[in-house]
Amino acid sequence: MPVRNVLDALTMRPTRFLTSSWPWRSLAYLTGGALIGIATICAVVVLLAAGLVLSVVVVGIAGYVATVLSGVAVGRLERWRMRLVDHAELPDPHRSPPAPGLRSWLRCRLREQATWRELGYTMLSALVLCWMDAAVVYAAVFVPTSLLFAPYYLYGETSLWTTVPLALCTPFALAVGAYPVTAWAGARAAMARALLAPRSDDTDAKLVELTRSRARLVDAFEVERRRIERDLHDGAQQRLVALSMQLGLARLELPAGSPAETQVAAAQDLAKEALSELRELIRGVHPKVLTDRGLAAAVGEAAGHAPVPVDLDLRLDRRLPDAVEVTAYFVVVEALANVAKHSEATRAAVSAGLIGERLHLDVRDDGRGGADPDRGTGLVGLADRVAAVDGTVALSSPPGGPTLVHVEIPCAW
Amino acid sequence: MLRHFGHEVVAAVADAPALLAAVAEHRPDVVVTDVRMPPGFSDEGLQAAIALRAADPDLPVLVLSQYVEQTYAAELLDSGRSAGVGYLLKDRIGDVSEFVDALVRVAAGRTVVDPEVVRQLLGRRRDPVQRLTPREREVLSLMAEGRSNTAIARALGVTEAAVAKHIGSLLAKLDLPPDADDHRRVRAVLAYLRG
C-alpha cells in the first residue's frame, strides 16, 4: 500500500516506520501547530484590543475585520504546513475576487463560507488544539531527554546502577513515543483537512453552471444519437432491405447459373454486407434495446457481442433515468472493449446494483492489469462521461491484474 | 412476393392496432410483422405479436427485425404455446425462397430463429459449447435455427443418420435430454443457449 500520509505511515512495519521520516515530520508539524496557535492568540488579542481602542474612531472596525480575516492567513499557512504530514495537497477553497482592488477582495472574502470556516478553525486551534499539540510535543521531548540525561543530573543522588540503565532506555522511549506523536499529528491533520478543504458550495457558480451545461450537452448529444439511429433504421436500412428483396425476386426470374443471375446474386451479397455493416453502426450509435428494455437487457446484449466470455450479475429491479442508463451502458461497452483490446483476459464480469439512490457498476477482468488512464485507453473519456451525470469512476489495475472499474452514478428520480 | 409463391396475403396493415383488428377479422394462417411499427416506432410490432399469441397461443407469428438483439427473440419465443414462432432478420427477405420456406415452417407450427441470432447465442454460452467439435457446432446452429434433421443433412451434405448421431452426442455434451420430437428438441436447445 502506498504511504500517502501519517495515518498510512502508522500501518507500516514498525522497523520501517521508526526509521522513516514520518515521526520527525509529525513532531515538526505539531511543534509548528503549537507555535502558530500561540502566535494567533497574541495576534488576535492585539487586533481586538486595537479595535476596542480605535473604535472611538471609525478605523476601529478595521481591527475587527482583520480579526475575522486572520483565519484566511492561518488557513493558508495550515494548508502549506499540511505537506509535512500528507502528500495530497489541499487546494485553496477561496474564489478569486471578481475585480482587482482591496474593496472587492474584502467583500468577496467576507461573503465566503470558507473564510468563516477558517476563522472557526483558527479559534478552535488557538483555544484547544495548540495546547494539546504543545502537551504532546512536550511529553515526547521531555521523557526521552530526562531519561537520557538522568545519569548527569541525578549524579550523586542516585547510584549509577539505576540511572545508566534508565539512559539506555532512551531509544525504547523514543520508539514508543513515536506512535502517539504520529497518531495525534494524523488526527490533527485530518481535522484541519475537514475544515480547510474546499467544499462543493465553495465552487464558483460558474463551475456549477459549467457542469450543468456539460450535462445538457450530453443530453442533447444523446437525443441527437437517437434521432440518427431512427433515421438510419427507418430510412437507409429499410431501402436496403427493399433493394435486397427486389434483387431476390429478380434472381427468381433469371435462369439459375446464367451470367445475369450471377451478377444479380453478387449485387445482392453487396446489399447484405451493407445491411450488416449498417446494423453494427446503428448499434454503436444508439442501442435500441436500451430504450425499449433498459440497462440489464442492453448490457446482456453487449456481453453477447464481447469477444471474451462475460459473467453477468445485474440486480436492477426497475428502469433508471435515461441519462443514467445511457451512461452506464456506454461505460460497460467501453470497459469491455478495453478488456478485449488491452487486457489479454480470458474472462470478464459485469455486476450492477442499486444501493440507496446510487447505481453501483463493476466491470472486472482477469487480465494483466496495468491499465493507466494517462495512456489514453478510453478511460478518460469514460470518466468524463460519468462525471457529466455527477458519477464517479474508480479504477484498480495493478500490474499483473486483475482490473476493476467501479462506477457509481446517483439516480435522481 | 408471397403471391409469387402461391400464398394469399389477406391484409397488409400499417400499425399495431390495425394488425390486431385484421387478425381478429381474417383469422390468418400466419402473421408476419415488423418489430418496429407506427405510431411509436419502438417495439409495438413485437408487443402486438406477443399480445396475439397470448390471446391465441396457437397462432403462428413470424417477426421481422432489424436487430440481432436476442432480447426481442427471447420474449417472442416465450409467448404463446411455444409453437409456430419465427424471429428473422430483415436481411433474409432477400433470400426469397428461403424466407418463404421459413414462413411455411412457422405456419406449420415450427420454431425458426435467425442464424445471426443463434450465432450470438452461441457466443454467449461459450464454455460448454467449446467442448463440441466444429461439426457438432454447425449442427447445433442449424438445429437452433429450427431446421429438421433432413434439412440439416441437406445443408451439410451428409446423411441423416450422421446428423442424428451428431445431435445425440452434442445433446449429451450439453446435458440435454435426448428427444425424438425435433420441435421440442429445438426449444430445449434454445432454452439452453439463452442460459
The answer to whether A54 and A60 are in contact (CB under 8 A) is yes
Within 13 Å, how many C-alpha atoms sit on residue A155's CB side?
A: 5
Distance from CA of A77 to the nearest CA of B (A): 59
Contacts of B91 in chain A (CB under 8 A): 241, 244, 272, 275-276
Instruction: Please enumerate residues of B whose Cβ is less than 8 A from a Cβ of A.
Output: 1, 4, 36, 41-43, 66-72, 90-91, 93-97, 99, 120-121, 123-124, 126-127
Cross-chain CB nearest to B124 (options A233, A288, A304): A304
Q: Are strands B61-65 and B85-89 parallel, antiparallel or unpaired?
A: parallel
Q: How confident is the model at residue B43 (pLDDT cuts 50, 70, 90)?
A: confident
Give the mean pLDDT of B105-122.
84
In the predicted model, what is the mean pLDDT of residues B23-37?
Answer: 86
At A266 the pLDDT is 92
Q: To the nearest whole number, what is the mean pLDDT of chain A? A: 83
| Closest CB from A272, A276, A291 relative to B42 | A291
Report residue A402's pLDDT band, with 50, 70 and 90 as the boundaries: confident
Q: CB-based contact (8 Å) between A7 and chain B?
A: no
Q: What is the pLDDT of residues A219-229, one digit of tens each?
A: 788 888 888 88
Burial A24-62 (b: 16+ CB within 10 A, else e): ebbbbbbbbbbebbeebbebbeebeebbeeeeeeeeeee
Structure-block grid coordinates of residue A275: 445491411
Per residue in A343-380, pLDDT (tens digit) is 888 889 999 998 888 899 999 888 888 777 766 657 77
Dihedral sign, Cα of residue B150, residue B155, residue B160, residue B165: negative
Which one of B41, B69, B120 has the shortest CB-CB distance to A230?
B41
Quote the pLDDT of residue A201: 60
Compare all CA atoms of chain B with the CA of A305 and give the residue at the minimum distance. Answer: B120
Q: CB distance from A289 to chain B under 8 Å?
A: yes
Other beta carbons within 10 angstroms of residue A382's beta carbon come to 22
Rounded Cα–Cα distance for residues B192 and A93 (Å): 58
Spell out which residues of chain B touch residue A248, defining contact as CB-CB under 8 Å.
Answer: 93-96, 99
Tens of pLDDT along A237-249?
Answer: 888 988 998 898 8
- So what's the pLDDT on residue B97? 84
User: What pLDDT score does B124 carry?
Assistant: 67
**Is the sign of the CA dihedral A79, A80, A86, A89 positive or negative?**
positive
Place B127 in a pLDDT band, splitting at 50, 70 and 90: low
- Using CB atoms within 10 A of its CB, is residue B161 exposed (0-12), middle (13-18) or buried (19+)? exposed
Nearest CB to B94 within list A230, A272, A293: A272
Which is higher by pLDDT, A412 or A175?
A175
Q: Is the pLDDT score of A202 beyond 70?
A: no
Which residues in chain A are contacts of B67 at CB distance < 8 A? Answer: 279, 288-289
Provide the 3-class DSSP secondary structure of residue B81: coil
pLDDT at A89 over 70: yes
Instruction: Report, as an integer, the average pLDDT of A80-93.
Output: 81
Instruction: Say yes or no to pLDDT of A204 above 60.
Output: no
Q: Does residue A56 carry a pLDDT above 80? A: no
Instruction: Tell me the shortest Cα–Cα distance from B90 to chain A, in angstroms.
Output: 6
Residue A291 to chain B, least CA–CA distance (Å)? 8
CB–CB contact B93 A245 (8 Å): yes
CB burial string A198-235: b at 16+ within 10 A, e below = eeeebeeeeeeeeeeeeeeebeeebeeebeebbebbee
Please name the residue of chain B whose CA is at the shortest distance from the CA of residue A243: B94
And the C-alpha cell for B3?
403471391
